[in-house]
Structure formats: C-alpha cells, structure tokens
Homo-oligomer: A and B are copies of this chain.
C-alpha cells in the first residue's frame, strides 16, 4: 500500500471510466465504510443536489473560494452564474479533475495555506462536510482567522457539516468518548481515504454540533447567522463576519 493521493486517483478514475464511484473511508481505529457516490454527489449537476445545498448557495455573492472543491461541481455552477471562483483542494488529482471539467482557476492548496495572494473573497463555500476541515478545536480558530483575513467585511462562509451527537451507533459513541478521554472534541475523527493500493495520509475531520460551532467561532471574527438543513444530522452553517452582525444590530 502506498501513501498518496488516493482521493484524487479515485476521482480521476470516476471521471475517465464514467463508472460508479465507491469511496472507502477508514477511521484510525480500523472502522471502515464504503459510500456510493457518482452522479448523485461529486459529479452531480445542480438540479440533483440536496435542497439545503441549493438553498444555501443563493447566499453566495461576489468572489468565491471553493474549499475542498473535489470534482468541481460547486465551482462549475458558480462560474456559470458569473461568479469569479477560485477552487482549492489538497488533492492534485481532484484539482486535475476540476480543470478537465472546466473550472478556470483550480489550485492544489490546503485551506490552512490560503493567503492574501489569492485576493479577497466575498464567499467561502465548504460543501460536502468540508466545514469539518476546521480539523480540531486547536486548529479551527487559526483557520477561521486566516479565512477572515482574505475575505471582505460582508463575507459569508457556507459550511456543511454534521452534528455527530445524534447517532445511536455504539461504535461512534465509544469513539466520541475515546476522543474526550484524550482531550479532543467528541466529533473529531481521524480518517483516510483508501483507493486501490493507495491510502491518503491520515487527516482530521471535525464534526461539530451547532453549539460547539458557535463556541469555536467566538473571537475569530465570524459568527453563526443561521443553519439550513433538510436531512439531519447534516446542516449548512451560514457564517458571517462579526462586522456585518454588528452593523445589522445597529441598523
């Protein structure tokens, strides 16, 4: 088994073979699952997206940063709508797929490495659970401040996540407990994607409840305006600049 861009190789294979995409995710404790994607997820046209994603995207405006762009469906849709979009993904394979599918500005970049050279954004989209790229309680504020620094005063983050605490699955509940016992938030999962002979490096994904998200946002320059949901425990957090919240209060 190699360590490498298993995620990107999977997306490239799905693009080239036009086949069904079965994504295998392994948690550090060996818990493993496969999910079926394809037209209905990474490559889905706008009309087939979950309604929460379509509804939340109406709040996108101006220049957009698409974080964890995957196969580029969000970037492509927003481009067509006339937005200036920069799509970033840590996976070179994913960025290759974005480019082949027509995303005009797709870059291999981890969200924690964004900086002012990208210009100023009015909207940050983190769909497909990518709000979980906040990663951990320690890492999240740094990342949010970095996003604050490269966005306009009235910027919004549209971030999709899931509330991990509604599960009744004993394996997941035990994992939450194990997390807490080692000083992590319950919903922090260390996972990797496996595809054929390649595994991605392990990475942290932070699932969080709305209350936890509010607490994390505190002091970062961002505030939770509202959430949009149609299929709990999934939700999209509409996160706005504090400045805007303050302005709204004084209107």
Interface residues of A, Cβ cutoff 8 Å to B: 1, 20, 22, 24, 29-36, 171, 194-197, 199
* Interface contact A196-B31, CB-CB below 8 Å: yes
A22 contact set on B, CB distance < 8 A: 22, 33-36
Closest CB-CB distance, A223 to chain B, in whole Å?
A: 38
Closest CB-CB distance, A157 to chain B, in whole Å?
A: 32
Closest CB-CB distance, A85 to chain B, in whole Å?
A: 32
13 contacts between A and B (CB under 8 A): A1-B30, A1-B31, A22-B33, A22-B34, A22-B35, A24-B24, A30-B197, A30-B199, A31-B196, A32-B194, A32-B195, A32-B196, A32-B197
A199 contact set on B, CB distance < 8 A: 30
Closest CB-CB distance, A21 to chain B, in whole Å?
A: 10
Given A22-B22, A24-B24: A196 and B36 interface contact (C-beta under 8 Å)? no
Instruction: Tell me which of B24, B30, B36, B194 contacts A20 (CB under 8 A).
Output: B36
Closest CB-CB distance, A82 to chain B, in whole Å?
A: 38
User: Which residue in chain B gives the minimum CB-CB distance to A20?
Assistant: B36
Top 6 A-B residue pairs of the complex, sorted by shortest distance between their CB atoms: A1-B30, A34-B34, A22-B34, A31-B197, A32-B194, A24-B34
Closest CB-CB distance, A192 to chain B, in whole Å?
A: 11
Give complex CA distance A195, B24 in Å.
11
A194 contact set on B, CB distance < 8 A: 32
Closest CB-CB distance, A36 to chain B, in whole Å?
A: 6
Give complex CA distance A213, B171 in Å.
43
